[in-house]
Amino acid sequence: MTGYLPVAIYLAFIIAFAVVMLSVSRLLRPNRPVAEKTLSYECGAEPVGDAWVRFPVGFYLVALVFILFDALAVFLFPWALALRGLGVWALGTMFLFLAILSLGWVYAYREGILEWR
Amino acid sequence: MTYEQAASTIAERFSGVTVETGAPLIVSVPVDQWRAFAQFAKESLGCRFFNFLSAVDWKDGGLEVVAVVDNLDDNVSLRLKTRLAPSPAEAGHDEAPRCASLVPVFRGANWMERECYDMFGIVFEDHPDLRRILLGDDWQGHPLLKSYAVDTPHPPYR
Amino acid sequence: MIDTAVQSQVAIDYSAGERLTMNMGPQHPSAHGVFRAILTLEGETVVGVDAVIGYLHRCHEKLAETLTYAQYPSIASKTDYVAAMTSEFAYVLAAEQIGVVDVPKRAQYIRVIAAELQRIASHLLWLGTWCMDMGGALGGGATVFLYCIRERELILDLFESLVGARLLYGLFQVGGVRYDLPDGWPQQCRDTLATIEQRLIEYERLLEDNPFFLARARGVGFITRELAEDVGVAGPLLRGSGVNFDLRRNLPYSSYGDFTFSVPVEPEGDCFARYRVRMVEFRQSIAIVRQALDRLPDGPISSRPALKSVAQIRIQKGEAYARVEGPRGEVGCYLIADGSPKPYRMKWRGASFSNLSVLPHVLPGHKVADVVAIMGSVDPVFGEVDR
Amino acid sequence: MAVKAPIPEVPAPVWRSFKDLQEFEALRQQRPEGDKHSATFESLTEGIHQFPGGFVVTTLADTFFNWARKSSVWPVTFGLACCAIEMMATFASRFDVERLGMVPWASPRHSDLMIVSGTVTIKMAPMLERIYAQMPDPKWAVSMGSCANSGGPFRHGYHVVKGVDRVIPVDVYVPGCPPPPESLLNGLLLLQEQIAHFRRTGQRAAPNEKVD
């Protein structure tokens, strides 16, 4: 059980750091929300139209592909650290895992999501 | 194509046009032949390069539109001039001077003519979107006319 | 009970998103000054451009009618403030053409030296800001910018010892040049040119086999030869589109005929062609300055008498259109004089005004990132655009 | 038509070290709204301040906060004309402003200082006002070049604002056309000294009705 003490201390430190930083800056910075200040910044010009417009779907697909492979990377880190202890068996499993995910990559490539129309 | 050949072809093709020989060929064109002459200069004289278009305010002598077109291959430069009615600010009548727009002939004339409209008030017929280019849209008066004082106040900033 | 018939008719077309009007406004890191482009975008592709200029309209042409021939050259240098020498050159040349003022040979050579050094300094600033616009692609935004400004400072030191000012000078006057070369200046000038020649090779090695730079510059922003001539685009943009025209060689002024130099022409007309034209122009300008320094004649530097009053210079009635090859293209000054100490009318033909008016014809179809690259390769200076 | 140039009544700036704490206290009372901290912190410091001997705490705290604000003033890149090229030369490696803790930033949201470098025209003035308003609060303005100070060589042009202090409150005026980077750096150092001492001119030069 004692193994988790450093993790708890580390967690407490993270939370404390965030809380202190935010509260001190809120305490010290002047807060004057004047009308023009909260106007959205359009390089100096009057904001024209609003930004809530239907985006082409291309942006959304690229974001999806990114999340897919970001999740993949999360698994790689602990695997790489513990590889020496686990031996060849772990190597095979991870490559199988990577092969399955590269199928997704090939599908995305063939569907033309990556070329920006 | 040298200056003499250009002068001769102009003389035979366009009657009402007076030509002053010299390094840049100064050609004064009557207003109604303005676009036709520009078309002619572009096709047969080979003056495809549109240098600039501007105007001069001769007070009572009227507004004068000046355009310079060049033939880059033979180094022939043509300065076309045409005289319009005086601007309403001076002559009292309220009808703005009109001139045929060169945009169908030279696409470069678009911004130049918008600037002439902005600064002199010359209205160019069938110009795609004739509005002020340099000054704000709410500006009164045309600054480069001789009747416009150089530092007229403009509240709230001046 | 939901009316299913209605639902079937609503076929939502997901392919084309709505058009977003985006404002690349006056205060923008890559706006090269105060230029506002209202872009209508479909996703990433630019569909329409409405350019709004005039934010730096400083009434140059109206002021020219109220300032005398001795006062206006220093204001003329504020039209194209990145190349102040060539701006003054055009005004002074126009006044001399009307008044048939003879300029001593030495003054003509000093004018050529100053104009060509100014071209090198202006091209350096162009290369720096252009590569900073394409920022992240070239190994961190400011790498090439800091190199180019470091070289530009060498040339500004030359101008500071010649004229006393770094950016806007009063070197030109009707009839000649105001200051003579201080002793030791030619040697300092030759050393600076030698260093810059070495550094140019470094820049080319840094940029030309950099895949990001090539991907963003090659095949982007095509200006066809016909469009270039039709809109009146000048200088490196014209020569980048295949037109072999350079005022210094076709219509030589101020003894440019005495120097031998070649005019670079690239047929493609894309950003990379304009980049190649300017890189060759660097070397041609260095060659011209060296030739001018070697054959610099002695003699007076100005034919203008000492002025007791500002309104002493009077130019007789007449008109002239002087054309000077500035770093951005043809800088013209159409001057009408009426015998009084002030000109009657002065029309300034800014090279950047015509170069910029080609953008609404070129930009549609490109991505938003290309807009920045094309703006940088057109290299507009807004003192000259808005006058 | 002799147009007499209006002289803006800008009070003489005070930039010298303090004689004593009373003077620091006087300047502290006059500081503009934007320089103060958040409302809770102000009420806290007022409480400590009333306490006998409490001013030592608040004065030290203010000096510390001013030192922090002074040493990281980020200018927004607001280049208008020729002075912008000299401002770029000041930002570049030879006359580096980063030594003063100034990182040139593109958007007004992250910057504390606006260096107005160039001629302010009537078409540009509302934009300039909006960008200055969009900057977060303790913010300063440096007017660089004679065009921004008073309209400069284009003062009599019909489209030119006769000085940027008719649009936004200006703290330091840097003379020159264009001012060489050394004099801009000198202006920025004076600004830092001014920030450290609370004393801000801040007053907008009221236009002289008789002439304008």
The domain over range C60-316 is classified in CATH as 1.10.357.10 = no
Taking contacts as CB-CB distances below 8 angstroms, the residues of chain D near C129 are: 88
**Which pLDDT belongs to residue A114?**
76
Query: Could you tell me which chains touch chain C, where touching means 3 or more CB pairs under 8 A?
Result: A, B, D
Query: Could you tell me which chains touch chain D, where touching means 3 or more CB pairs under 8 A?
Result: A, B, C
Kind and range of the H or E run holding A92 = helix A88-111
Mean pLDDT, residues D150-174: 89
CB contact under 8 A, B75 and C250: yes
Alpha helices in chain C (DSSP H): 4-9, 60-64, 72-76, 84-99, 105-133, 143-162, 185-208, 211-217, 225-231, 236-240, 247-250, 271-294, 351-356, 359-362, 368-378, 382-386
Q: Give the chain D residue whose CA is nearest to the CA of A26.
A: D38
Taking contacts as CB-CB distances below 8 angstroms, the residues of chain D near C34 are: 80, 124
Q: How confident is the model at residue B156 (pLDDT cuts 50, 70, 90)?
A: confident
Q: How confident is the model at residue C16 (pLDDT cuts 50, 70, 90)?
A: low
Q: How confident is the model at residue C9 (pLDDT cuts 50, 70, 90)?
A: very low
**Which pLDDT belongs to residue B119?**
93
Mean pLDDT, residues A90-115: 87
Lowest pLDDT segment from B60-64, C57-61, C141-145, C217-221: C141-145
**Which pLDDT belongs to residue C5?**
43
Q: Which two tokens stand for residue C118?
A: 């100014």
From the candidates D76, D111, D130, which should be mutated to test the interface with A, based on the most A CB atoms within 10 A? D130
Q: Give the chain C residue whose CA is nearest to the CA of D160.
A: C58
**Whole-number Å distance between alpha carbons of D171 and D148:** 12
CA distance B55 to chain D (A): 19
Taking contacts as CB-CB distances below 8 angstroms, the residues of chain D near C62 are: 157-158
Taking contacts as CB-CB distances below 8 angstroms, the residues of chain D near A31 are: 38-39
Does residue D99 surpass a pLDDT of 80? yes
Give the DSSP per-residue string, A3-65: GGHHHHHHHHHHHHHHHHHHHHHHHHS-----TGGGSPPSTTSPP-S-S-----HHHHHHHHH
Q: How confident is the model at residue C2 (pLDDT cuts 50, 70, 90)?
A: very low
Taking contacts as CB-CB distances below 8 angstroms, the residues of chain B near D160 are: 158
Does residue C48 surpass a pLDDT of 60? yes
Does residue D27 surpass a pLDDT of 90? no
**Which pLDDT belongs to residue B154?**
82
**Which pLDDT belongs to residue C63?**
93
pLDDT tens readout for residues C233-249: 999 999 999 999 999 99
**Which pLDDT belongs to residue D212?**
46
Mean pLDDT, chain A, whole residue set? 85
A–C: how many Cβ contacts below 8 A?
A: 46
pLDDT tens readout for residues C245-260: 999 999 999 899 999 9
pTM of the prediction? Answer: 0.89
CA distance A10 to chain C (A): 34
CB contact under 8 A, C62 and D158: yes
CB nearest D38 (choices: A31, A36, A39): A31
**Whole-number Å distance between alpha carbons of A22 and A17:** 9
**Whole-number Å distance between alpha carbons of C165 and C184:** 18
Mean pLDDT, residues C179-200: 95
Percent pLDDT > 90 in chain C is 71
Q: Does D92 reach chain B within 8 Å, measured CB to CB?
A: no
CA distance B131 to chain C (A): 11
Q: How confident is the model at residue C4 (pLDDT cuts 50, 70, 90)?
A: very low
Q: Do C381 and C353 form a contact (C-beta atoms < 8 A)?
A: no
Q: Do C284 and C112 form a contact (C-beta atoms < 8 A)?
A: no
Q: Give the chain D residue whose CA is nearest to the CA of A34.
A: D133
Domain parsing of chain C, residue ranges: 60-316
Closest CA to D153 of C170, C345, C36: C170
Q: Does D123 reach chain C within 8 Å, measured CB to CB?
A: yes
Taking contacts as CB-CB distances below 8 angstroms, the residues of chain A near D198 are: none
Q: Do C333 and C387 form a contact (C-beta atoms < 8 A)?
A: no
CB contact under 8 A, B150 and D156: yes
Q: How confident is the model at residue D3 (pLDDT cuts 50, 70, 90)?
A: low
Does residue B104 surpass a pLDDT of 90? yes
**Which pLDDT belongs to residue C120?**
96
Lowest pLDDT segment from A36-50, D106-120, D191-205: D191-205
CB contact under 8 A, C82 and D94: no
Beta pairing partners, C41: C20, C46
pLDDT tens readout for residues C109-130: 999 999 999 999 999 999 999 9
Does residue B118 surpass a pLDDT of 70? yes
Rg (CA), chain B: 17
Does residue C206 surpass a pLDDT of 70? yes
First-last CA distance in chain A: 55
**Which pLDDT belongs to residue C7?**
42
